[in-house]
Copies of this chain bind each other. A is one copy, B any other.
């Protein structure tokens, strides 16, 4: 019976609760790095736990003390990357933006980490990556739309359907763009996405 584990990096916020052995932090980061590097080298679904712990110079039991399995580690890694992405989004947002959602940031982030993204999408781990991305995106859209509803707008189509529609379209375009070796710069592909998405949204009310 795989018992629940912490799976939490030490909260970076002020000095709180647990002291958290510095070793723990180092071990977790080492495993993150090891997986990240390995993904760039071989298909995700061919990577074994043994590969990871060899790379990270970590004992087998240590791995299982921190993560439930390879996938759990990946989720953690993705969460971290997601937070990094989110920080960028928030920090770099131009105040006035006629785009419904920060889709550009996605494309830029994918472009910057193209090797990793491509490796994930073609190596069998794409599901998790896309699901994570879709979830973020859907959430952002939902908030945007709900806000408009609160402002009095009346939508012909339920919010979740719209959010799901636009997020799925986004992920699909992103995937295709990466698989084609990014034949357009991030800004251009984003323009296309927005050009397709905006009419749908405008037609909502």
Could you say which of A15-23, A146-154, A159-167 contacts chain B? A159-167
Tell me the smallest distance from the CB of A135 to a CB of chain B, in Å.
Answer: 12
Given A196-B157, A199-B199, A199-B203: A168 touches B173 (CB 8 Å cut-off): yes
Interface size of A by CB at 8 A reads 32
Q: Can you list 10 contacts pairing A with B, beta carbon distance less than 8 Å?
A: A160-B176, A161-B173, A161-B196, A164-B175, A167-B172, A168-B168, A168-B172, A195-B203, A199-B199, A200-B200
Q: Which of B156, B162, B167, B199 contacts A200 (CB 8 A)?
A: B199
Q: Which of A157, A161, A173, A202 has the most CB of B within 10 A?
A: A161
Q: Does any Cβ of B come within 8 Å of A197's Cβ?
A: yes
Question: Are B172 and A164 in touch, CB under 8 angstroms?
Answer: yes
Q: How many copies does the complex hold?
A: 4
Known contacts A168-B169, A196-B200; 20 additional CB pairs below 8 A are: A134-B172, A156-B195, A157-B196, A158-B192, A160-B176, A161-B189, A162-B196, A164-B176, A165-B169, A165-B172, A165-B193, A165-B196, A167-B172, A168-B170, A169-B172, A172-B172, A195-B203, A198-B203, A199-B200, A200-B200
